[in-house]
Structure 1
Amino acid sequence: MSGSDSVKASRLVVAAAVLDDLGHPTTLLCAARSYPPEHAGQFELPGGKVEPAERPEQALARELDEEIGLSARLGPELIAPRHLAVPAPSDSGPGDDAPAWPAMHGFRMRVWLAEPARPGDRGRAGADHQRLEWVPLDPPDRLRRLPWLEADLPIIDALVTALAR
C-alpha cells in the first residue's frame, strides 16, 4: 500500500439512515447515485467524507445539507458488529476513534439513525443522486430488493434487524 493509499484507507466517511420518524419509523430515505458510471442507479445511505479537523457528526450534518438539502436530527449510531468492524487508525482525527463499517475503496464508514429536523421534509436529489425514494420498512425484504451498493448491504441488514426489535 503506497502512502496515498494508506491515507485513503484510513479516511472516514459518514452516512445517515434517515427514517421518517425515529420513534415510530415507517419509511427509510434511499438515495440512488448519479456517478461514477459503474454505480449510477445503485442505492446508498446519504452522507460523505469527513474533512480534516471536522467531527463526524458535523460532517454528516454538512453532507446531508449539501447532498440532499436535508437538515436532520441524529439518533443513535448504528454500530458495526465486531466481525465486520474496521478499527480506527492510530492517527485518527477528532471524534474518529470508534470502529466503523467497511466501505468502498478501503474507506471506513460510521452510520447514524436520523430523522428530518423539520417534520415532513423529504429532501431533494442534487448532483450526487439521480433520485431519492422513501421506501416502506414493511415488509423488510422490500428494502433488501433495491440495488444497493455492496458496502451498504450489511448496514441495511443490521438496520432491518435493529428496527424489528
Structure 2
Amino acid sequence: MHRPVLVVAAVIVDDLARPTVFLGARRSRPAHLVGRWEFPGGKVDPGETPEQGLHREICEELGVTVELGDEVVGPDSGGWVITDRHVMRLWFARVVDGDPAPLVEHDELRWLSPDEFFDVPWLDGDVRIVEHITGSFEPGAAQQETA
C-alpha cells in the first residue's frame, strides 16, 4: 500500500477569533472535478513543511497572503482522508494582504455564511470537514452585525 499524498488547505475566514463566513472555491479542472467546491490549497512540495506549502499554494491559487490560525484536526490520525490516495491537513486562515481571486484551479470564489455552507456541491472528501467546522461559526452572526 502506498503512503497517501499530503494535501494542505485553508478554511479562509473573515475573523480568526469569531468567524462568520468562509471562502469556498469552485474547481475549473480537471474535468471530473469541474463545478465542485473545495477549500483552496494543494500538495506539499518536497522539502516544505505543511505550513510552508499552504502559504505557497494560497499565494499561487488566490494571489493573497494569509495568517494561519488553528489547525482543524481530523479524525484520521490528525488529518482528513479525502480520497483513496490523499490525506488533507487544513488550518483556519485570514487574508492579511490582497483580495482573493480565482487564479489557477478555480473559476469562482464565494464567501459562505453558515446557512449557505451546503448551498454548493462540495467535493465528496470535503463534506465531512464542512460538517465538522460548522460548530466554529455563530449562526446568524453575519446578519446580526449588519443589522
Same-fold call, TM > 0.5?
yes
TM-score when scaled to structure 2? Answer: 0.87
For residues 64 and 22 of structure 2, the distance between their equivalents in structure 1, rounded to whole angstroms, comes to 14
Quickly say closer, same or farther: Cα 1:122–1:162, change in 2 above 3 A: same
For residues 10 and 28 of structure 1, the distance between their equivalents in structure 2, rounded to whole angstroms, comes to 27
- 1:134 corresponds to: 111
**4+ residue runs of structure 1 moved beyond 6 angstroms?**
none
Aligned Cα root-mean-square deviation (Å): 1.6
As a proportion of its length, which structure holds more strand? 2
1:29-50 superposed Cα distances (whole Å, 9 cap, x missing partner): 1000011112101100000001
- 10, 20, 31: which one pairs with 1:16? 10
For residues 14 and 47 of structure 1, the distance between their equivalents in structure 2, rounded to whole angstroms, comes to 5
Kindly provide the amino acid, as one letter, of the partner of residue 126 in structure 1. L
Paired residue total: 139
- 1:92 corresponds to: none
- 110, 125, 128: which one pairs with 1:151? 125
For residues 51 and 103 of structure 1, the distance between their equivalents in structure 2, rounded to whole angstroms, comes to 18
Q: Residue 105 of structure 1: CA displacement?
A: 4.2
Q: Residue 117 of structure 1: CA displacement?
A: 1.2
TM-score when scaled to structure 1? Answer: 0.78
Kindly provide the amino acid, as one letter, of the partner of residue 129 in structure 1. H
Kindly provide the amino acid, as one letter, of the partner of residue 113 in structure 1. F
For residues 6 and 104 of structure 2, the distance between their equivalents in structure 1, rounded to whole angstroms, comes to 22
Task: Confirm or deny that 1:29 pairs with 2:23.
Answer: yes
Q: What are structure 2's unaligned runs of at least 5 residues?
A: 140-147
Kindly provide the amino acid, as one letter, of the partner of residue 126 in structure 2. D
- 1:112 corresponds to: 91
1:72-121 superposed Cα distances (whole Å, 9 cap, x missing partner): 0000000113xxx1x4xxxxxxxxxxx31002242110010011113xx4
